[in-house]
Each structure stands twice: as C-alpha cells, then as structure tokens.
Chains A and B, each alone.
Chain A
Amino acid sequence: MKLKINGSEYTLDVDMRTSLLDACRDHLGLTGSKKGCDHGQCGACTMLVNGRRINSCLTLAVMHEGDEITTIEGLGNPAALHPMQEAFLHHDGFQCGYCTPGQIVSAVGMLGEVADGWPSHASADVNGRPELSGGEIRERMSGNLCRCSAYPNIVDAIETASAKLKETA
C-alpha cells in the first residue's frame, strides 16, 4: 500500500490488520503519535487526515491510500516549532508528555473546525459563529485525556496559540 504522510510518499507491505497508528510507529519510524488506549478513548494517537483530526488507532492504514496524513512530526520540529507546540511549552501544558502530541494535533484540528464555523455541544446557539471560550475548548478537546491532569495549562496554551494563529492569518 502507498501512504502520503507529512508530504512524503511511503510504500508499505504490511498485514491488512495494521492500524494507521501502527503503520506510522512500527513501520515508518514516525513514533511521535502515541498509543494510549488503542480503542479511541484517549486521543493520544490523534492525526490529521485531509485536515481533519481522527483517532489513528481506530482506522486501518490500507483505508487511507490517497489521503493526506499529518502527524505531529509534520506540524513542526525543534528548529521550527508550530505555534501550538510553542504555546504548550510556554504554558507548561503537560507533565509526563505522553498525551501531548495527540493534544497538540487535536488542538490544531479543532481550531480548523472552529474556523469553519462548526458548533459544539457547548455552543449556546448552534446557528451562531462559535467563540473560543474556555468552556468551548474543554468540550471540543474532550476526546483527549491527560492522566497528569494538565488541563488548565492545556486550555491556556490553546487560547494563546489560537490568538497567535489569528494574528498571523
């Protein structure tokens, strides 16, 4: 099968059962995405597929031939951090760091959803333009768990990154 990840083409010959997460971690050396629960409950494996965030543990790699896949490695690197990565560092949005790649990729995907005007369960009016309040961030990020419970700093980091991304947009 052929996969396009972070702009590069990869050819793989793997068992049909291989999840997108395992394909990246075990076969392509892209170990930034983490395996937490492997059942779509924790969000540590979050990747962007065609710009939308998904749980990469709950999908088969073979089903994503032709898709544009972005992992944490594709967002930034130590020499050129993504604004969301910078904000997580600045606000100390983690303790052990295991959930962090998933949190960051999910937050980037989430801001794209807000920019597209998607409502959430926390939106008072589903027909209005969503405003990114703390309550909205918490609801929209509920698919990413943090066992160290760094949530207050994660919310602060996302608010900061959101403001910065708006400035540069």
Chain B
Amino acid sequence: MRPFEYARAGDVAEAGRLAGRFIAGGTNLLDLMKLEVETPEKLVDITRLPLRGIEETDDGGLRIGALVTNSDLAAEPCIRRDYEVLSRALLAGASGQLRNKATTGGNLLQRTRCNYFYEPSQPCNKREPGSGCGAIGGFNRIHAVLGASKHCIATHPSDMAVAMRVLDAAVETQKADGSSRTIPLGELYRLPGETPQIETVLEPGELITAVRLPKPRAGTQRYRKVRDRASYAFALVSVAAIVRMEGSTIAEAGLAFGGLAPMPWRDAQVEAALVGKEPTMANFDKAADILLAEAEGQGGNDFKIPLARRTLKAVLADATKGA
C-alpha cells in the first residue's frame, strides 16, 4: 500500500474542505489500496459525520443517511416492511462482516470486480486509461452484455444499487464548495464509452450525504440473484422487481437488473411492454426480447443473455402468481 495522509472530518463542510479521498466502511477502497489499484494521497475519514439516521420525509418516503451500514439498513423494520426488495438485495450481498462495515453511500460507489481492473500487471482502461481492455478477448465470464463499450466491459457489482434503482432512489450530495444537489440514481452513473475511468457524474470532492426513497410503491417486491455459489458471491444476473396486478392483468411493473451492465440497468420499454398484459410466459418473453435486443456477449459471458431471460421470466412468474 502506498503511504497516504490521514484526516478525520468533524462535519460535512469540513469533509469537503479537506480535499481528499473519502473513506467510510473502507471494505472496497482499502482492498484496492492494498493492491495499489487505488493510490490516494490523502484519506478523509468521514465515519464520525452525523449521517447514520433513517428518517421519514414529508412526501411519505425515507431519507437514509449515507453512513447507515448495509446490515442496519437491511434490518430496519420500515425497510423490511415497505421496501422489501431493498432488504432482500442487501442481504444477498457480501458477508455478515462486510455488511456491518459497508455503508449506503460507499456501496453505491464501489468499484467493479473485473479481474483485469484488480490486476495492475494487466491492461485496463478504467485503471489506466489508454492501456486497453484485457477482458475483451480475455476471461470475461463475469462481464457486461449491455451498455458496454469497446473500451470497457466491466459490470457494476452492487446488489443494493439494483434495488435502489427500481425504487427510484435519489442521492443527496454536498459539493466541496458547500452547495448541495439531488441526483436521481438513474442519472448518477455514466456508461463507459471512451472514458470508463469516469463512473459517475459526481465532481471531485462531492460527498453523498443521503439516499432518498420515494413513498412505498404498491405491488409485489422480489429480488432474485443468480450466482456461482449459494452465498457470498457477486451476481451473474440479478433482477429487482415491483409488480402490481389489477385483476388478471399487470397494472405496473418496475424492473432493474444487476450483473448485466456497467450500471444498475433499467429499461422503461421493458416495463411498458408488460403493462396491461396478462402474466403469461409469452408476454414475459416479449419483455425479455426488448431487454436483450442489443445484448452482446464476449464469448465467456454469452450465457448471461439466456440466463437473464430465464431469470426475468422466473421473477415475473413468481411476482404475478396467484393472480
């Protein structure tokens, strides 16, 4: 690990002024620093900031402090009751020890687990822009089939972010100059294009202070994660769903996908194709056709395309059963 300067922020304004890399749970950042994939010159410890609360908002939603741990969030009674998809996604991720450390803000900003990103002897445009992408033409079993570019095919690893995406979450931030803004989760992440090293729209020194959830949506909530082992593994494909039935037809469908793309993936056309339809396998297949129309495998990850179709159909069948 490279040497760094360490500073502890006493309040949110000071965190921005200290001008360094923020560290909270540190479960991803310190791992990457040990490998010298991340080499910050200064760490700003934000764990003492008062961002651990979960409170109701005036519009009937929730405001989750950025430092709420993944385990506290998953266990929060109102999350389990009203936002079950979020609790389920959190519990499907990492291990008990990691969830006790990892924070809400940090989970959103964790880096890809692409093997080439993690190995400094290998080319990676995300770690070292211009060095090439080792995964294209290499080992790419875990890589993206949607939203990738010829410069990067890495996936976003978070389960939590997939649930947050289907819940229409938004992040509250404070910039280094003290100004604040709210960014819908659907606008937080950037596709890799020619600059895969730039993963979000956040500015240097901009701190996520909270995540807002709108008031709970009616419907059946599901999070289905397909992975190489039963626990403690990243998603190959995951589906977060909120489906509301009216009689025998689908009235509303919210769907977000993990493991497929460089960001939690959501496609309004997939959801629109299901509204007003009966919950039949033929209709689920049509939705999958739309989701996967542009999907492109790289060899090792070709299996993700049919796997995404089958997982989507299984989740929709489960969420609409009994209708």
Contact = CB atoms under 8 A, between A and B. Distances in A.
B101 A58 contact: yes
B231 A62 contact: no
B310 interface: no
B101 A54 contact: yes
Given A119-B87, A120-B91, A126-B84, A109 B96 contact: yes
Contacts, number: 102
A58 B88 CA distance: 25
Given A17-B3, A119-B80, A142-B232, A126 B88 contact: yes
Contact of B34 (A16, A38, A117, A144): A38
Interface string A37-70: 0111001001000001111001110110000000
A167 interface: no
Contacts of B80: 119, 126-127
A53 B3 CA distance: 27
Interface string B1-42: 101111000000000000000010011001100100000000
B94 to A, nearest CB: 8
B34 A39 contact: yes
Interface residues of B, number: 34
B321 interface: no
A82 interface: no
B81 interface: yes
Contacts of B84: 126-127
B100 interface: yes
B232 A53 contact: no
Given A119-B91, A126-B91, A16 B3 contact: yes
Interface in A133-152: 138-144
Contacts of B74: 118-119
17 contacts: A16-B3, A16-B6, A17-B3, A38-B34, A43-B97, A53-B96, A54-B97, A58-B101, A59-B27, A118-B75, A120-B91, A121-B88, A121-B92, A127-B80, A127-B81, A142-B96, A143-B95
Interface of A: 15-17, 19, 38-40, 43, 46, 52-55, 58-60, 62-63, 106, 109-110, 113, 116-121, 123, 126-127, 138-144
Interface of B: 1, 3-6, 23, 26-27, 30-31, 34, 45, 47, 71, 74-75, 77, 80-81, 84, 87-88, 91-92, 94-98, 100-101, 230-232
Given A16-B5, A55-B101, 20 more contacts: A15-B3, A17-B3, A43-B95, A46-B97, A58-B31, A109-B96, A113-B75, A113-B96, A117-B75, A119-B74, A119-B75, A119-B80, A121-B91, A121-B92, A126-B80, A127-B80, A140-B96, A142-B230, A142-B232, A143-B232
User: A-B pairs with the 10 shortest C-beta distances?
Assistant: A143-B95, A142-B231, A142-B232, A118-B75, A121-B91, A52-B100, A126-B80, A143-B97, A55-B97, A16-B6
